[in-house]
Amino acid sequence: MTTNLPRLRNFIADIATLLDATADEALILETGGNLLAQLTAHDDWLPDAFAQPNPERYTQYLLHCDSLQRFSVVSFVWGPGQSTPVHDHTVWGLVGVLRGAERSQAYRREGSSFAPHGSEHRLEAGEVEAVSPTIGDIHKVSNAFDDRTSISIHVYGANIGAVRRATYDEAGRPKPFISGYSNTLLPNLWDASKSLTS
C-alpha cells in the first residue's frame, strides 16, 4: 500500500502556521480540531510501522515534534480491550480517531478523590475531542472493541513524551510519569523524491 505522507506533512505545516498566528487556546482547539478531523477523514497516510499494536499495552508512536516543542503529533494504537488509567495531560490536546473507535470518560476532583464527570462517550472514526486544563484535562480512554485494533491521532501543545504528568488511583492519589514514545525512528515526511513520476 502506498502511504500518502504529504497529507500528514501538510497537516503538520497547517498546525505550525496556526501556532505562528495565535496563542488563543480556544482558537487553537477549534481550528486545530477541524484540521485533525480533515486528516482523520482519510486513512491512507499512516505508515504501517506506526500502526502496530502491542499485545501487552497501548502504544504511543511519535510522528512529529515541532523543533521548538510547541506541539507534537502522535499515533495511539490500541489493541483489543486496551485502556489507559485515569490520567492528565497538563497541556492542550486534540484526539481524532483514525480507525475503529474509542470510549472516553472524563473525571474531575470531588473532595479528595476523582470521580467520573458526565457519561462515557464513544468517538468514532473521523471524530475529534479536545482536552486541556482549562476545559477538562483528566480522563480515561479505552479501545471500544474487544476484538480489533483502534488507532487515534493526537496533537498536543508540547512534546508530550517529555511532559511530566500523572495517573490517578481510585483515591485520587497522583503517580507522576513521563510517557516517552514507543518508537525510536520517525517517519520521513520531508523526502519528496517519491512524488516524482517517471
Q: What is the pLDDT of residue 51?
A: 96
pLDDT tens-place string over residues 62-120: 999 999 999 999 999 999 999 999 999 999 999 999 999 999 999 988 877 778 888 99
Query: What CA dihedral angle connects 85, 90, 94 and 99, to 10 degrees?
Result: -20
Residues of the chain with pLDDT under 70: 1-2, 194-198
Do the domain assignments include residue 194?
no
Is residue 155 in a domain? yes
Q: What are the tens digits of pLDDT across the range 75-91?
A: 999 999 999 999 999 99
Calpha distance 168→174 (Å, rounded)? 5
Cα separation of 160 and 153, whole Å?
A: 13
Per the structure, the count of domains in the chain is 1
Q: Is residue 90 part of a domain?
A: yes
Instruction: Confirm whether 35 is domain-assigned.
Output: yes
- For residue 74, tell me if it sits in a domain: yes
- Cell numbers representing residue 98 in the block: 483514525
- Can you give the residue range of the structural domain that contains 27? 5-44+52-180
Instruction: Report pLDDT for 195.
Output: 65
Instruction: Flag whether the pTM goes above 0.85.
Output: yes
| Per-residue pLDDT, 197 | 47
Taking the C-alpha atoms of 30, 36, 158 and 76 in order, what is their torsion angle to the nearest 10 degrees?
Answer: 140
CATH of the domain at 116: 2.60.120.10
Q: How is 130-161 classified by DSSP, letter by letter?
A: EEBTTTB--EEEEES-SSS-EEEEEEESS-GG
Within-domain flag for 15:
yes
In a domain, 190, yes or no: no
Q: Residue 197 falls within a domain, yes or no? A: no
pLDDT for 198 equals 39
